[in-house]
Amino acid sequence: MQNRLGRTVLSRALVVLTAAGILMAGLLTGIADAHGSTTDPPSRNYGCWARWGSDFQNPTMATRDPMCWQAWQADSNAMWNWNGLYRENVKGNHQGSIPNGQLCSAGRTQDGRYNSMDTVGAWQMASKSNRFTLTITDQARHGADYIYVYVTRQGFNPATQPLGWGNLERVAQTGKIAPNGTYQVQVNAPGRTGRHVVYTIWQASHLDQSYYFCSDVNFTG
Ligand SMILES: [Cu+2]
């Protein structure tokens, strides 16, 4: 009798402990795996994931959305890990850490997983007026030390020219932002029409982790 009661108590305790263990593991991997990206206007890899993630082997992508097609062919993990385009320990020296022509891959970060983001071509654009709201989605609730938003200068053509620091003008920046699921930045980029790249640097607050995102926009004025 006492033996059976003891076993019951023990097995219940095990069930509770196991459930707690699974929950802990889930929380820990959630923190380790999830980060974020610019989701509006969508970063290149977030956009390719959002448009094609459920249909990434569809060969019509090659003609309908060729820049996404080359990205999926190069390394599909750039899309599955759309929230992982970052470098660590940059110490604020973004321009010194990322060579011209490699801005959209954060200097070929993560062993080159995101190199296809640097491919020069006619990436699909989001239409925006010169005043728009930029949204970063932060799945990990890292917070921000700051967010910088750059836009290409009028006359530069990202469909034919590799993106360099000299092609960009910083048009918005924030101070510290408390951890949340999304951060919005009001951007004003006057005097621009047509194809442009919006370049976002998100400096996370939990450690020296810097994110770099290229978003393609069509300015309607
Ligand atoms: Cu992170």
The tens-digit pLDDT sequence of the chain (221 residues) is: 445 555 555 555 555 555 555 444 444 444 446 899 999 999 999 999 999 999 999 999 999 999 999 999 999 999 999 999 999 999 999 999 999 999 999 999 999 999 999 999 999 999 999 999 999 999 999 999 999 999 999 999 999 999 999 999 999 999 999 999 999 999 999 999 999 999 999 999 999 999 999 999 999 98
Check residue 60 and give its pLDDT: 98
pTM for this structure?
0.86
In whole angstroms, give the CA distance from residue 211 to residue 201. 5
Q: Own/partner pairs for 27-35, CB < 8 Å, 24+ apart?
A: 30/140, 31/140, 34/83, 34/139, 34/140, 35/83, 35/84, 35/86, 35/138, 35/139, 35/140, 35/142, 35/204, 35/209, 35/211
The pairing of beta strand 36-40 with beta strand 131-138 = antiparallel
Q: How far is the CA of 125 from the centre of ligand 1 (A)?
A: 26
Q: How far is the CA of 31 from the centre of ligand 1 (A)?
A: 7
In whole angstroms, give the CA distance from residue 166 to residue 103. 11
The residues whose Cβ lies within 5 A of ligand 1, an ion, are 35, 140
Q: How far is the CA of 65 from the centre of ligand 1 (A)?
A: 29
